[in-house]
């Protein structure tokens, strides 16, 4: 049997994206409390993500959302990483408030934000191990949050489109 690499790309991208989620899951977490959520989207959900990015871009006048929507469409899968909100009770003041009790509910806990950042770094590193093209996107994360793709109560979502091609649609954007 001959397996043409071009015919295997989608399956390989999904496999690598799943491994990227494993890397995000096993990344260190603040106080050892795991509140990170991650998933892989493709197909109809990926198209809905790109469509929502375009809608947000038009609403806000942010052209980069429109550009990034094209990148999401050209990718084979998208990894999503976000966090459930949980005040860690450290009174560290990293959020800008002296104590956790003073912090408004709408202001994210900085420890949660760092957890997402570390998880994203681990996921992106795993993608790099396989030499797939990836790019961490704020824009796609905002759209994923609006769509509730990681579930209710999950915020600070970022997305990592995964591409396998000779020219990266995520960086060679013209």
What average pLDDT does range 151-170 have in this prediction? 92
Q: CB of 105 within 8 A of CB of 134? A: no
pLDDT range class, residue 135, cuts 50, 70, 90: very high
Average pLDDT over residues 148-163: 96
Query: What confidence category does residue 66 fall into, taking pLDDT thresholds of 50, 70 and 90?
Result: very high
Q: What are phi and psi of 162, to 5 degrees?
A: -120, 125
DSSP state of 32: G
Q: What is the DSSP letter of 137?
A: B
Q: What's phi and psi for 157, nearest 5 deg? A: -85, 135
pLDDT for 144 equals 98
Q: What is the rounded distance in angstroms from the CA atom of residue 71 to the CA atom of residue 73?
A: 5
The pLDDT of residue 11:
95
Q: Write out the two tokens for 167.
A: 């020219």
Q: Looking at the domain covering 5-163, what would its CATH class be?
A: alpha beta
- The full set of domain ranges for the chain reads 5-163
pTM over 0.85: yes
What whole-number distance in Å separates Cα of residue 163 and Cα of residue 170? 8
């Amino acid at each position: 049997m001959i397996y043409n690499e071009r015919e295997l790309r989608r399956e390989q991208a999904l496999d690598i994206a799943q491994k990227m989620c494993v890397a995000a899951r096993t990344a260190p977490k603040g106080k050892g409390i795991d509140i990170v959520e991650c998933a892989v989207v493709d197909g109809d959900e990926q198209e809905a993500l790109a469509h929502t990015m375009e809608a947000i871009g038009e609403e806000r006048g942010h052209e980069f959302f429109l550009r990034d929507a094209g990148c999401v469409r050209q990718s084979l899968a998208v990894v999503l990483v976000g966090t459930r909100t949980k005040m860690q009770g450290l009174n560290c003041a990293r959020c800008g408030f002296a104590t956790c009790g003073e912090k408004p509910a709408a202001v994210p806990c900085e420890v949660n934000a760092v957890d997402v950042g570390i998880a994203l770094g681990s996921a992106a590193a795993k993608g790099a191990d396989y030499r797939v093209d990836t790019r961490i996107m704020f824009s796609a994360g905002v759209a994923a949050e609006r769509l509730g793709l990681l579930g209710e109560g999950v915020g600070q979502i970022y997305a990592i489109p995964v591409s396998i091609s000779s020219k990266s649609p995520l960086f060679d954007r013209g």
